[in-house]
Amino acid sequence: MSESQASLLLRKQLKDLSRNPVDGFSAGLVDDSNVFEWNVTIIGPPDTLYEGGYFNAIMSFPNNYPNSPPSVRNSVWKNRPAVTVYPDGRVCISILHAPGDDPNGYELASERWSPVHTVETILLSIISMLSSPNDESPANIDAAKEWRETKEEFKRKVSRIVRRSQEVL
């Protein structure tokens, strides 16, 4: 049986990233037999609250990738202070939302998923999210409230998460 277009594309993106690594993250397969599940490590960007942290996540790709977006789930952020991460750890950025018009009217269709996105553009968007979280449309309402109202407490919690992520290494 021949490989699907999705698996061929994912193998190509994996090969490209291994040949030309990008600062700020690393990516590889969770299991060599499944190209649809990736383990990624995002390094907290300099000059942010997350600086120096190592955040592991799983990228799960649908069988019809790149027509539909992958999901990105981070267990470290589960129930933790991250404005643009749902309490269950799923990362919430526009480019990971299904293509087309937003049923809630918050995002333009041009901000949502497009088949031109790659693993690299997704991970760079997540890194950007860490640099400037969008508290206007939060995935985690409690974290957004804490970010706005008790920023010092929010910073302390993030600092603890960063330290814990470094200890795991």
99: nearest Cα among 69, 138, 62, 63: 69
129, containing H or E segment:
helix 119-131
- Catalytic residue, from 76, 83, 92, 96: name it: 92
Give the closest residue to 40 by CA, choosing from 66, 64, 10: 10
Among 35, 43, 29, smallest CA distance to 9 is for 35
- The set of long-range contacts for 37-46, using a CB threshold of 8 Å and a minimum separation of 24, is 37/61, 38/14, 38/119, 40/72, 40/119, 40/123, 42/123, 42/126, 42/127, 42/130, 44/130, 44/162, 44/165, 45/127, 45/130, 45/131
The reply to whether 132 belongs to the active site is no
HSE at residue 98, side-chain half, CA atoms within 13 A, is: 6
Residues forming the active site: 92
